[in-house]
Amino acid sequence: ALFDPNKQWCSYQILTTLSKESSPLFPDEEGAVNHHSEKHLDSWKQALAEEEAEELHDDVHAAAKWLPHRLMNEVESWSGSTSADFNYEHEAVMGRMLSWLLCLEFMDSAASVDMRNRACISSYLDRTGAVGVVLELSLYLANVQKERSLDWMTCTSIDNNTDGGEADTFALSNVATL
């Protein structure tokens, strides 16, 4: 729904609200990591020493308790992407940017419960290559000079998006500037 212009604003608001719960989505260790993420974890661990692989395993399992499975699948799909692979269509870029912002929201919520969760989720996101993808897209899209005074809520708040009945739109350059 984050990639559908008709649904992205509403789905973003719902997922942001869910992220504020300050409790893991999947508190039970069993079943926290979905099949798709488990396959990525196995491939990432192959190039690591045993101790590093064990740490990554723990980090991914901790991240999987806090992040929605589909959000993890989306971010993992960016792994190994280069700028030549990017789809710069508005819907695709906005979906990726909103996915990233949601990862940060869930990470903040997890860190408010236990600061170690921030390190675990950061390690997981680093392994996916998401940071590089988001920076690349942000540099491509952001109008830093014009939009540098923006803050988080000016782009995503309900009040900002209901001026003309178009409550489901985001300004892509504004979100990229964040």
pLDDT tens sequence across 88-130: 787 888 889 999 999 999 999 999 999 999 999 999 999 999 9
Query: Do the domain assignments include residue 121?
Result: yes
3-state secondary structure of 167: coil
Query: Quick count: other Cβ atoms within 10 Å of Cβ 59?
Result: 22
Whether 167 shows a pLDDT value over 50: the answer reads no
Considering just the CA atoms, what is the radius of gyration of the chain in Å? 17
Query: What's the domain count of the chain?
Result: 1
Average pLDDT value for residue range 55-83: 90
Query: Do the domain assignments include residue 2?
Result: no
Residue 59: domain span: 8-177
Query: Do the domain assignments include residue 151?
Result: yes
Query: Do the domain assignments include residue 3?
Result: no
Q: How confident is the model at residue 64 (pLDDT cuts 50, 70, 90)?
A: very high
Whether 45 shows a pLDDT value over 90: the answer reads yes
Higher pLDDT, 157 or 121: 121
Higher pLDDT, 134 or 160: 134
What percentage of the chain exceeds 70 in pLDDT? 74
Query: Do the domain assignments include residue 1?
Result: no
- Sheet strands (E) in 104-173: none
Tell me how far CA of residue 27 lies from CA of 33, 41, 63, 110, 138, in angstroms. Answer: 11, 20, 11, 12, 33
**Predicted pLDDT at 114:** 94
Average pLDDT value for residue range 53-57: 95
Query: Do the domain assignments include residue 17?
Result: yes
Higher pLDDT, 5 or 49: 49
Query: Do the domain assignments include residue 36?
Result: yes
What percentage of the chain exceeds 90 in pLDDT? 49
